[in-house]
């Protein structure tokens, strides 16, 4: 015996993912959303990957109909790990394992110029050259440390080279 709700009743099933992804790439979870009720309705389908991010997509369905939906979130350097992604509607939840691999950037850093030596009270200026011989764009922070002084940081973003 199958009972059909009179109002909308959205269920979700996972069809696939783009797992594994490399840190810095977007995740994607492909799902099918089905309105098992008789009435038409709209609601948000959500994906959440704990410690990585979440996203939502509005879906409108007539009673008894289904549609594919792709949901995703960006990842960042440092997000490497194994996660359980949770996809949900107001009435249903599905889970899928998701892997974010560590990014291997092979960044090269070298000092290209400095105004050394300086006397006390003067600013030490250091110019660094960053190169990205890998095939994956990279971004992050470079920290310059000189013994006994406060470290200085600068952000960078490099494309493929």
Angle at 145 between CA 141 and CA 146, to 5 degrees: 160
Single out the residue of 68, 65, 66 nearest to residue 57, CA to CA.
68
CB count in 10 Å sphere of residue 56: 13
Q: Answer whether 0.75 is exceeded by the pTM.
A: no
Choice among 82-91, 94-103, 109-118 with the minimum mean pLDDT: 109-118
SS3 121: coil
SS3 30: strand
The answer to whether the beta carbons of residues 76 and 49 sit under 8 Å apart is: no
**Model confidence band, residue 161 (pLDDT cutoffs 50, 70, 90):** very low
pLDDT tens digits for 65-97?
A: 999 999 999 998 789 999 999 999 999 999 999
Residue 19 β-bridge partners: none
Position 28 pLDDT exceeds 70: yes
Taking residues 91-109, report their average pLDDT: 86
Query: Token pair for residue 102?
Result: 């560590």
């Amino acid at each position: 015996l199958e009972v059909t709700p009179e109002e909308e009743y959205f269920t979700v099933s996972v069809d696939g993912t783009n797992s594994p992804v490399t840190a810095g790439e977007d995740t994607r979870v492909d799902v099918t959303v089905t309105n098992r009720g008789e009435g038409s309705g709209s609601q948000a389908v959500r994906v959440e990957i704990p410690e990585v991010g979440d996203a939502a997509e509005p879906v409108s369905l007539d009673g008894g109909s289904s549609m594919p939906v792709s949901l995703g979130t960006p990842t960042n350097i440092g997000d490497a790990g194994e996660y359980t992604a949770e996809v949900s509607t107001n009435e249903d939840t599905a889970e899928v394992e998701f892997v974010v691999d560590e990014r291997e950037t092979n960044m090269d850093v070298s000092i290209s110029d400095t105004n050394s030596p300086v006397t006390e009270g003067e600013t030490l200026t250091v110019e660094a050259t960053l190169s990205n011989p890998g095939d994956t764009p990279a971004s992050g922070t470079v920290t310059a440390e000189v013994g006994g002084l406060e470290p200085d940081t600068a952000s960078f973003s490099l494309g493929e080279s």
